[in-house]
Amino acid sequence: MTSPEDLNPPPWYKQFWPWFLISLPASVVVASMFTIKIAVDSDDGLVSKDYYKEGKAIHMDASARQKARDLGIVANIDFAQQEQVIRVVIDSESLAAVGALQLALRHPTRADKDSLLDLKPVDPTTYEAPMPDLTSTHNWNVELIAADAGWELRGRADFQAGQFLTLK
C-alpha cells in the first residue's frame, strides 16, 4: 500500500539531499574566493621589480667590499639589547676613510622587516643608533655602508643566538 506522503512528496527545497548536494560546490566557491583574497592581499617579498638593474648593481657592491678590504676596515657590532642601542666600533688603518655610516638590517624573505639606520658618531671609532625590534625573526643580512667613502661590509646575524658580530 502506498501512503499519502508517497503520492505527494514534499517539494525539492524542503528535502535534505538537494541542499546537501548544492552545499558541496558552494563550499568550494567560498573557499576559492577566500584563497583569491589572500593571494591579492599578501605581498610576495621575493619578487624583484627590476631584477636587471639589481643584477648590474652587484658589480658596484663588489668594488665597495674590495675597497673596505684594501683599507683594512673591520667593524665590531654590538647589539646591546639592555640599552636598546646598536654600537659599531671601527678598527681601521685609515680612520679618515670612515665618514658617515649607515647600518642596513635586511631580512632575507620579509622586506617589511628591513631597517636602514643612520649611525651617529660617539667618538672617532664608535658609532651608535637606536635598536629596532629584531627579536621576532632570525637570520638577518647586515650591511655597514660608508657611502661617502665608497666602501661597505656585509655579514649575517642571528639575533636569537648571539648579540655580537664582526664584519671584515
Residue boundaries of the structural domains of the chain: 13-41, 51-167
21 — pLDDT class (breaks 50, 70, 90): very high
Residue 24 has pLDDT above 90, yes or no: yes
User: pTM of the prediction?
Assistant: 0.62
Tell me which residue of 133, 98, 100 sits closest to 115, measured CA to CA: 133
Does the domain at residues 51-167 carry the CATH identifier 2.60.40? yes
When pLDDT is averaged across residues 96-102 and rounded to a whole number, the result is: 73
SS3 label, residue 45 = coil
pLDDT of residue 36: 95
Distance CA 140, CA 71 (A): 25
Express each pLDDT in 28-42 by its tens digit. Answer: 999 999 999 998 888
pLDDT at 76 over 80: yes
- 128 pLDDT above the threshold of 60: yes
**CA 51, CA 54: separation in Å to the nearest integer?**
5
Across the range 85-111, mean pLDDT stands at: 77
pLDDT, average across residues 89-98? 68
CA–CA separation, 98 and 146 (whole Å): 6
